[in-house]
Structure 1
Amino acid sequence: MDVLSFIGVIIGFAALLGGNFLEGGSWSSLVNGPAAIIVFGGTLGAAILQTPVSGLKRALSLFKWIVKPPHQKFKQGIKHVVSWAIAARRDGLLGLENISEKEKDRFSRKGLQLLVDGSEPDVIRHVMETDLIVAEQRDNDAVQFYESMGGYAPTIGIIGAVMGLIHVMRHLADPSQLGPGIAVAFVATIYGVALANLFLLPIANKLRACIKQQSQYRELIIEGIIAIADGENPKSIEMKLSGYLH
């Protein structure tokens, strides 16, 4: 579980609410149902409008990475590759067949199967890099759902503020209602800007970091598989892949 995600959200919103309190404002002044409906509903609707169904499903499935990101164990990955190289040197490439059947990682399993089938190194690289690029692009397209929400939220917040001011203008004859009315109108702007900068955009950036780390791990697997196909020494493979630990 990624504790930093919880800490970041708590610090961000605590700073916002705490600063408002220290300035003499009440927390209740930041609570406004119509503003929340305008900002949250409008932002979500705009993002859904621009996102295809497959991208939306993938975006929702990636959301759990904020709390439980897919940590890539690079040291363990190198150990696996070295063990495959030792098995290939001892039993030949066909000796990897049983290992490939037991491998849980789909990407690694595909590479091992290509080795067992006797594919040329260039073919293996092309197939695996294509898989990596397609998967990375699919995930980055899904992350764009959260980025787009982060872009729309402040604008929708301004729309909410303008709508609130229009409502305030109806009470110009009663000056006592102007101050509170204007304050409530600008709550929508606060919602939009806070939602974008304290939640949506950080989520998108964190997901992109997870995707980048996953791609680097898969690059490690590709280089290891190619080295095995070229018949390199297991010790040499380990030294080559150790660069990914930095």
Structure 2
Amino acid sequence: MKISFGSIFGVLIAIAALGFALQNYELSFFLNPEAALIVFGGTLAATMISFEGKEVFRALGAMREIIVPSSIDDGRMMEEVQTVVDWGKINAREGKLGLEKAFEESSMTRDRFLQNSIDLFNAGYSEDNLRTKIETFVSNQYEQEKKSVEILTVMGTFAPAFGMIGTLIGLVGMLSQLDDFAGKIGEPMAIALITTFYGAVAQQLIFKPAAQRTDAKNRVLLTRNLMMTEAFLLLVNNKGSMEIQDHLNSFLRDTPDRRKSRKEGSS
């Protein structure tokens, strides 16, 4: 499994910053099972009440996006553009039969969206019909992925709220034991303060980054899927490889690799 080193570096910075801030205190002071149960258990419970269970577990699975790099990046999109350009050349030479054979030999068929698009293309739909069907698939896929972002964002709002609930619980316990101030006030005070700490950390270092990173990956995937939608529409209209190249390039970011590719192509 690939690891996003940028994310790992960010996690290490967060750990180092917290470690530096807490270096003058006993670490055990900040380890409180009761506080963790209030924050994380309460957050999960409220989320399960708010959303369907399968959507919640899917969102929790998406939290791995924090450390796993996106499978769709600039390099892969450039490769896919070149593949479609090659398909355009095959279509011009051999027609639809040659194109269907190229589809079968392509590794792109392992992608659910691309496999669906290829199946629709092979079905022989008109341009408008093909566009409608592929764009419907793209839209539905994006909405499904966006639900995970919504759930993680909501969890990020629940966590500090349950941190405050834990604080109130601790304060109530503390006030109820004022008659034995020195002997019994320590534990409720710890719960009161640590739950707020856990809630803030959960929001800012877990749920919020997971939601933002998942959203960023979803947007990249959406751009790529829209690009490939245009690719199949160009193929169904029998456009030439140069027109395909120029049109799909408009979806690519101006990266160093792309600038290098342009220079090599013009030389």
Q: Fold match, TM over 0.5? A: yes
How far apart are 1:100 and its partner, in Å?
2.7
Per the alignment, residue 241 of structure 1 pairs with: 248
How far apart are 1:183 and its partner, in Å?
4.5
Of 133, 137, 147, 2:143 maps to 137
- What is the letter of the counterpart of residue 68 of structure 1? V
- What is the letter of the counterpart of residue 6 of structure 2? L
CA contact (8 A) 2:39 2:166 kept: yes
Q: Does 1:214 align with 2:221?
A: yes
Rounded to whole Å, the distance in 1 between the matches of 2:65 and 2:190 is 37
Rounded to whole Å, the distance in 2 between the matches of 1:69 and 1:90 is 38
Structural mapping, 1:87-126, within 5 Å: 87-102=90-105, 103-126=109-132
Per the alignment, residue 19 of structure 2 pairs with: 17
Q: Does 1:158 align with 2:164?
A: yes
Per the alignment, residue 196 of structure 1 pairs with: 203
- What is the letter of the counterpart of residue 137 of structure 1? E
Question: In the TM superposition, what whole-angstrom CA distance separates every residue of 1:17-46 from its partner, at most 9, and x where no partner exists?
Answer: 32132xx43322212121111111111111
Among all aligned residue pairs of Structure 1 and Structure 2, give the percentage whose two residues are the same amino acid. Answer: 28
SS in 2 for 1:232: coil
SS in 2 for 1:92: helix
How far apart are 1:77 and its partner, in Å?
1.0
Q: Pick closer, same or farther for the CA change 1:112–1:179 going to 2, 3 Å.
A: closer
Rounded to whole Å, the distance in 2 between the matches of 1:115 and 1:94 is 12
Give the count of matched residue pairs: 244
TM norm structure 2: 0.84
Per the alignment, residue 84 of structure 1 pairs with: 87
- What is the letter of the counterpart of residue 145 of structure 2? D
Per the alignment, residue 257 of structure 2 pairs with: none
Q: Pick closer, same or farther for the CA change 1:183–1:155 going to 2, 3 Å.
A: same
Q: Does 1:5 align with 2:7?
A: yes
**Aligned-residue CA RMSD in angstroms?**
1.9
- What is the letter of the counterpart of residue 225 of structure 2? R
- What is the letter of the counterpart of residue 14 of structure 2? G
How far apart are 1:235 and its partner, in Å?
1.2
How far apart are 1:181 and its partner, in Å?
4.8
Question: Where does structure 2 lack aligned partners over 5 or more consecutive residues?
Answer: 254-267
Deviates more, 1:12-21 or 1:204-213: 12-21
Deviates more, 1:9-18 or 1:60-69: 60-69
Per the alignment, residue 27 of structure 1 pairs with: 27
Q: Pick closer, same or farther for the CA change 1:213–1:37 going to 2, 3 Å.
A: same
CA contact (8 A) 2:65 2:210 kept: no
TM norm structure 1: 0.91
SS in 1 for 2:70: coil
Rounded to whole Å, the distance in 2 between the matches of 1:17 and 1:172 is 33
- What is the letter of the counterpart of residue 156 of structure 1? F
CA contact (8 A) 1:165 1:185 kept: yes
